[in-house]
Structure 1
Amino acid sequence: MGIRLVKPVQGAALLALSALLFSLMAVGIREVSDSVNNESVVFFRNLVGVLFFMPLILLKGLRPLATTRLKSHLWRTTYGLAAMYCFFYAIAHLPLADAMLFTYSAPLFTPLIAWWWLKEPLSKRMLLTTGLGLIGVLLVAKPSAALLDSQALIGMAASVLAAFAFVSIREMSDTEPAFRIVFYFSLFSALISAIPMALTWQSIAQPELELLLVIGLLATASQIVMSKAYAMAPPGLIGPFAYLAIVFAGVIAWLRWGETPDPSSLLGAALIFTASLLAIARRPR
């Protein structure tokens, strides 16, 4: 395996951008899920991801997409697609803050998974920053009683599966660039998700199709940026920056629906930023 160069500052900045794009995608999913089923939303999100790469293929052919890590891409697709089904379901059936809480608690699991899978060091500092970030997430999201419902288990599954997906990206980032990781994930996911979509087929109006297109573009861009971020630094080091998605979601909710943050949300946001800064304050040797 090649030597990985650790760039925590750049990785953290890219992960924050990915979180913003992902928050926008989640808002779109919440709106379109009122009239479009989960199977169709997942399929079109992945189909748009494949179409996103068509200009690259037409210009440069298939050579940039050649890989010797097909097995790694399949594992990444398995974890990522399963997490996507669970997350989209959670968005449609749970309060948005709760669904975002589940998905963005994934960084809590990434240091342990990276330690077990990639033998990356696990320090008390990493555990401290992720724990501090989770407290901030809880203060901002203020989970409702719906978290105690059986549907919450699907949200928790999304969290764990997403953590495995993040670490799988790190595992093959020594040879696979971000665009290739995202392309194979989109391709395999589109092929697999076409089956449940066909079994639950429904007609979709033009406004919903346009929104699905936007969702797919946001998701693909977020995936590319996120893949690049985790290629620059270990998940356990920059993972707390993913918590910024909760802050972004709160700002979007304020702008779109007039929801104003209360003192609890502001305190949670402060803890999230603190955890994020602590995560990169000390560079690894």
Structure 2
Amino acid sequence: MPNTSSNPPLLKAIGFLMLSAFLFSIMGVCVRYASHTVDNASVVFFRNIFGLLIFLPLVFNKGLSHFKTEKLWMHTWRSIAGLAAMYGFFYAIAHLKLSNAMVFTYSSPIFIPLIAWLFLKEKITKPMLLAAAIGLIGVVFVAKPDDGFFNSISAIGLSASFLAAMAYVTVRALTHTEPPERIVFYFCVIGSLVSAIPMFWLWRPYTLHEIGLLAAAGILASISQMFMSYAYKMAPAGQIGPVNYSAIIFAGTWGYLFWQETPDHYSIIGFGFIILAIVLCSPLLQNRLAKQ
């Protein structure tokens, strides 16, 4: 492992990933409100199509040649995995507490080190495993397994988590040759084309309120993914993955503010573990723990 204590890009990667998680949690609020009246297939489609709109200025400025790629098959795989995860995640948001839905989605750091090791041959270190394990303990405290936690919706949420981890690792691989804006651009294009198929059968007129929520969700999600792509370009996926747990804290905050979902003492303890997992990703601690 490099001397991360003198590695500013790692600190920047952690900051970008936390900002990505923050924006993604706000997107979750928009999806939650939109899901009250809009079906899941339409939410996924509009999230992609509105997310694609933010690239129009870049296309006009740099031209379509900027988005040419020799990694189309990797973009396609990343898009399929990410889109499948999105369907599951949005379904969980619509049927679970926002914080619980985020718990499932952001459990992906548990899988990231293993997937990164299998496909990218990235080294799994003890600090990585420790951070992932502590984050998982925090997830359990926040979610508090009960009758409403382990059910069919939970299975969908956990499946989305695994698929999201595969997408994140693919993003890491793509960043070796592809700029972040190209990665997100292809995700939105492929996602829009694929998600248009099920949405077509459910099409109906939408209110301005619904369109506003869906547009906000799409734009926030794409900006969030841009920051995520920049983060994974700067640091190994397994090393910074646990920072994603911060989205659960953000989601808990929004759940309290908008739906009066008050965290109990177990949730507070869980947040503490999650914060500790994030702290363990810091350059100084990563370097010290790796030497032990």
TM-score bracket, shorter-length normalisation: over 0.9
Instruction: Give me the TM-score of the superposition, normalised by structure 1.
Output: 0.94
Deviations for 1:260-280, whole angstroms, at most 9, x for unmatched residues? 433322222221111111123
Q: Are 2:158 and 1:150 aligned?
A: no
Q: Are 2:255 and 1:241 aligned?
A: no
| TM-fit CA distance, 1:259 | 4.0
CA distance in 2, matches of 1:7, 1:141: 33
Whichever residue aligns with residue 264 of structure 2, its letter is D
Aligned to 2:171: 169
Deviations for 1:36-64, whole angstroms, at most 9, x for unmatched residues? 00111000000011111001111221122
Unaligned runs of 5+ in 2: 1-6
Aligned to 1:27: 29
Aligned to 1:275: 277
What secondary structure is seen at the aligned counterpart in 2 of 1:276? helix
CA distance in 1, matches of 2:21, 2:147: 25
Whichever residue aligns with residue 44 of structure 2, its letter is V
Whichever residue aligns with residue 86 of structure 1, its letter is G
Contact preservation (8 Å) 1:140, 1:247: no
Aligned to 1:224: 226
CA distance in 1, matches of 2:267, 2:149: 18
Aligned to 1:205: 207
CA distance in 2, matches of 1:271, 1:153: 24
Whichever residue aligns with residue 78 of structure 1, its letter is I
CA distance in 2, matches of 1:119, 1:159: 21
Instruction: Give me the TM-score of the superposition, normalised by structure 2.
Output: 0.92
Quickly say closer, same or farther: Cα 1:147–1:263, change in 2 above 3 A.
closer
Backbone CA RMSD of aligned residues: 1.7
Unaligned runs of 5+ in 1: none
| TM-fit CA distance, 1:19 | 0.6
| TM-fit CA distance, 1:176 | 0.5
Q: Are 2:119 and 1:88 aligned?
A: no
Q: In terms of mean alpha carbon deviation, does 87-96 or 40-49 score higher? A: 87-96
Q: Are 2:138 and 1:125 aligned?
A: no
Aligned to 1:42: 44
CA distance in 2, matches of 1:155, 1:279: 25
Whichever residue aligns with residue 66 of structure 1, its letter is K
Deviations for 1:103-147, whole angstroms, at most 9, x for unmatched residues? 010010000000000000012221111010111122233354222
CA distance in 1, matches of 2:273, 2:219: 31
Quickly say closer, same or farther: Cα 1:259–1:83, change in 2 above 3 A.
closer
What secondary structure is seen at the aligned counterpart in 2 of 1:145? coil
Q: Are 2:138 and 1:136 aligned?
A: yes
Q: In terms of mean alpha carbon deviation, does 94-103 or 214-223 score higher? A: 94-103
Deviations for 1:205-226, whole angstroms, at most 9, x for unmatched residues? 1110111111111111111111
Quickly say closer, same or farther: Cα 1:244–1:50, change in 2 above 3 A.
same
Quickly say closer, same or farther: Cα 1:244–1:20, change in 2 above 3 A.
same
Contact preservation (8 Å) 2:92, 2:101: yes
Contact preservation (8 Å) 1:98, 1:144: no
CA distance in 2, matches of 1:31, 1:24: 11
What secondary structure is seen at the aligned counterpart in 2 of 1:89? helix
Q: In terms of mean alpha carbon deviation, does 197-206 or 13-22 score higher? A: 197-206
Contact preservation (8 Å) 2:240, 2:281: yes
| TM-fit CA distance, 1:95 | 2.6
CA distance in 2, matches of 1:202, 1:144: 37
CA distance in 1, matches of 2:51, 2:213: 14
Whichever residue aligns with residue 99 of structure 2, its letter is A
CA distance in 1, matches of 2:43, 2:148: 23
